[in-house]
Each structure stands twice: as C-alpha cells, then as structure tokens.
Amino acid sequence: MHPNEVCVLLDGDGTVLWRDASTSPVALPDSRARWEAIWRHRDRLAEIAHTHPGGLLAFSGTDVTTMAAIDAALGRPLRYTIVTPTAILSRDPDGTPHHPETEPPWVKDLREGAPWPS
C-alpha cells in the first residue's frame, strides 16, 4: 500500500476516473485539483475512496464534513469508501455504513499502488 493517503474517484462500474496521493500517511488535505476532478467527472462520479495506510477503519470528522460538502455541491449523495491494508468500510448514498463482503477489483490495485491515469 502507498505509504501516504491516496484518493480515487470512481464511476458506477468501479472504473478509476482520477487519483491523487497525499504527502502524509494520516491526512489528505484539500486539493484544488481534486475538487476540479470531482466537478469535471460529476456526471459519471459514483464513489470516492481513500486509504488509511495506518489501518484506522473509520470516517474521521474531516471525512464526514468533506463528504457532506461534496454531496451538497453535486446535489446528490455519493458512496464513500475507506481502504486499509486489511479491510474496507463503505458508506452508501443513503448514509448506511457497511463492510462489503466482496472487495471490488480496484481495492487490490489501490493496495498494491497500481498506477492509474490522473
């Protein structure tokens, strides 16, 4: 897994639309490029996922406020997912958190640090 937090934007089929990496293993600061990518891909965007390389399997307070801001900007809720070295936690568009029984293929790529187009 990348040593720092990584964020990916995904469409409804799980195709990675965009990715970026932080310079920190415990924070993913706001990025103008990320907000522009969210807006550019808004019609296809279904999910935003990011890693917690340290293993914390929970949405932070910052995660929650950022998710609310994105949903408000898009006018619709998205799915959000946290990926740790051993597990994933998703929050569905209706706000329900769950641990998916089957991990999508992109999770393995994210853990292995696969290169994706940005």
Write down the domain spans for the chain.
Answer: 6-112
What CA–CA distance (Å, rounded) separates 35 from 93?
19
User: What is this structure's pTM?
Assistant: 0.93
19 DSSP β-pair partners: 8
What CA–CA distance (Å, rounded) separates 74 from 54?
30
The sign one gets for the Cα dihedral 4, 34, 89, 87 is: negative
31 DSSP β-pair partners: none
Give me the architecture of the 6-112 domain, per CATH.
3-Layer(aba) Sandwich (3.40)
pLDDT in tens, the chain (118 residues): 778 889 999 999 999 999 998 888 888 888 999 999 999 999 999 999 999 998 999 999 999 999 999 999 999 999 999 999 999 999 999 999 999 989 999 998 888 766 554 4
Nearest to 116 by CA among 5, 4, 3, 6: 6
